[in-house]
Amino acid sequence: MADEIADAETLDALDALIDGWLAEQLAENPVVAAVERGEPGQRRWYVRVHGESKDVFTVWFTVRQRSLFYETYVMPAPEEDHARFYEHLLRRNRTLHGAAFCIGEEDAVFLAGSLPVHAVDEGELDRVLGSLYAYVEQCFRPALRIGFASRFDT
């Protein structure tokens, strides 16, 4: 079932579920600052989130044929102490559930994960958004202090 390509009806229902859930989040969740849809014909949403350690970040939700993919940009590639920086993130990956740090475009650091289409419901969407929020909050500042340490020296 997890490997099956979802039919159009299933994808349309998931699209409507995510639209409704995000409208509710925007209205009721104080950390959700804005929600935008991707280009017409795309099943993609951009959710701007107010953080504490990282002031603002965006979570992308993308429905694919078999899964809901989600990711957020965490920070650019480190300027220094690369080995210690990546070791820190890899060690953090061991304690994360449903997401992992990875390297993306321009060697930037992202946090990403996915769920099978059939497993997506409002509870899972809440868990994903909450987890990404918590992981960014826990990991951003320590990683910044390692990979950009000279900017903090006074």
In-domain check, residue 111: yes
Instruction: Tell me the Cα Rg of the chain.
Output: 17
**Given this model, what pLDDT does residue 58 score?**
98
In-domain check, residue 72: yes
Question: pLDDT tens digit string along 50-98?
Answer: 999 999 999 999 999 999 999 999 999 999 999 999 999 999 999 999 9
In-domain check, residue 153: no
Q: How far apart are CA 79 and CA 146, in angstroms?
A: 9
Q: Which domain holds residue 138?
A: 8-148
* pTM score, whole prediction: 0.92
Q: How far apart are CA 124 and CA 140, in angstroms?
A: 23
By three-state DSSP, how is residue 41 classified? coil
Q: How far apart are CA 115 and CA 92, in angstroms?
A: 20
In-domain check, residue 66: yes
Q: What is the CATH number of the domain that holds 125?
A: 3.30.1460.10
**Total tally of structural domains belonging to the chain:** 1
In-domain check, residue 31: yes
In-domain check, residue 154: no
In-domain check, residue 2: no
